[in-house]
Structure 1
């Protein structure tokens, strides 16, 4: 129960701050959304190491703890797309990807240093942060493919069904979260672990949590509407 309180509090706070900044200070709002996007990604890379259990009552799933952050990631790129358009969303994805490359480089840099003789947690540190090349490559590939597809589908749905905010939010997120689960697990664990159960656990848990964040995105959109900003600033032109 406590995890859901943290999740709701975090999503509520970031949604309110994002909408407030976009509404009052459009340029700062974009910077804030990209910053949130980057920190969500960095946190998910670290938290994905811990595998947790999801009790659904009739079935038990196992998935990385980072599944709680994936909806934040999907929502952040949707917020950018909604307010600033497809091109800004694409640039944000590229910037975020480069920060993840830097994160891995920094971790490798630190791991190359010799630990102090009194540092007792070196083995645990190496286990957590010494990601294999295959897993890292799988993460990067699935991120670029799925986030780019999410942005494109969101923009297309907005052009086609502009008033159906829930449709572009849910439609793009379900596609993104499902495909990301399939691609990442397949790339990372094919031949070394049972892919089917891992894919199932991620797809179900990600989409359940991902769909739960839809009301916050609708709230974000509603907070933007009363403000008479120029359409090209936050009208989300799908360029």
Structure 2
């Protein structure tokens, strides 16, 4: 028997993790989350406490870590392909949820309203995620690759941090602007808190896991056949 030969590369595995993170994050983001709900603290015009975020706050930074790995090891075109693949999967997820909601509920099924309240907002969150993540992730990848082309293999920390700040800022502003209403954020103070907390959290997490990102990139560069270091 004859079979097509699979290339020896880790790209499909990273792509699968990237897509899974994207889908799970958009569903988890349907829940509004608040920490220190009984506390009140402001610094000038900024409301510091309580902290407003969504249910995807702990997972979404992983998508940017994976995006950095894809861009650094495989280049901008491969990272762009991952973004497009991810949103194709998100589009299928959204369409499936809409069909599930529209299907007639059985007499014994008592959770239609609860189902609609959870996955019914996912299309809006997908729109928010698509707009924010498309611009944010592509900016993240473009900045990382630009810095790498300018300075070569040196200063990886500059590439990772610089691309994160630019990408996360664009992503957070766009996503929060569209998604805030879907999770119940209605006031200007809560919205500013949502944006600032989201941006700082994602950036801090990526900085904290940078040593791990370094090692993953190092291993991939050594193991991927045909990898050519930048001059």
> What range is the shorter-chain TM-score in?
0.7 to 0.9
Aligned residue number for residue 173 of structure 1: 164
Aligned residue number for residue 221 of structure 1: 217
* 2:207 aligned to which of 188, 201, 211: 211
Q: Secondary structure at the match of 1:53?
A: strand
**Residues 1:193 and 2:186 aligned together:** yes
How far apart in 2 are the matches of 1:30 and 1:157?
Answer: 22
TM-score, length of structure 1 as denominator length: 0.77
Q: Secondary structure at the match of 2:10?
A: helix
Is the alpha carbon distance of 1:196 and 1:117 closer, same or farther for their aligned partners in structure 2, counting shifts above 3 Å?
A: same
Is the alpha carbon distance of 1:39 and 1:228 closer, same or farther for their aligned partners in structure 2, counting shifts above 3 Å?
A: closer
**Unpaired stretches in structure 2, ≥5 consecutive residues:** 1-5, 42-48
Is the alpha carbon distance of 1:210 and 1:120 closer, same or farther for their aligned partners in structure 2, counting shifts above 3 Å?
A: farther
**Residues 1:231 and 2:227 aligned together:** yes
Is the alpha carbon distance of 1:26 and 1:220 closer, same or farther for their aligned partners in structure 2, counting shifts above 3 Å?
A: farther
Is the alpha carbon distance of 1:93 and 1:122 closer, same or farther for their aligned partners in structure 2, counting shifts above 3 Å?
A: same
Aligned residue number for residue 62 of structure 1: 52
Q: Secondary structure at the match of 1:63?
A: strand
Aligned residue number for residue 155 of structure 1: 145
* 8 Å CA contact retained: 2:34, 2:52: yes
* 8 Å CA contact retained: 2:147, 2:159: yes
Aligned residues: 209
Q: Secondary structure at the match of 1:66?
A: coil
Q: CA deviation at 1:223?
A: 2.1
**Unpaired stretches in structure 1, ≥5 consecutive residues:** 1-24
TM-score, length of structure 2 as denominator length: 0.79
More helix by share: 1
- List, as ranges, runs of 4+ consecutive aligned residues in structure 1 with deviation greater than 3 Å: 25-28, 57-60, 132-136, 187-190, 224-229
* 8 Å CA contact retained: 1:71, 1:213: no
How far apart in 1 are the matches of 2:88 and 2:20?
Answer: 13
RMSD between aligned residues: 2.6
Q: Secondary structure at the match of 1:68?
A: coil
**Residues 1:38 and 2:19 aligned together:** yes
Aligned residue number for residue 110 of structure 2: 120
User: After alignment, is 102-111 or 113-122 more displaced?
Assistant: 113-122
How far apart in 1 are the matches of 2:98 and 2:51?
Answer: 32
Name which structure has the greater RCO, CA cutoff 8 Å, separation 6+.
1
Is the alpha carbon distance of 1:226 and 1:31 closer, same or farther for their aligned partners in structure 2, counting shifts above 3 Å?
A: closer
* 8 Å CA contact retained: 2:169, 2:199: yes
Is the alpha carbon distance of 1:148 and 1:36 closer, same or farther for their aligned partners in structure 2, counting shifts above 3 Å?
A: same
Q: CA deviation at 1:169?
A: 1.4
**Residues 1:91 and 2:72 aligned together:** no
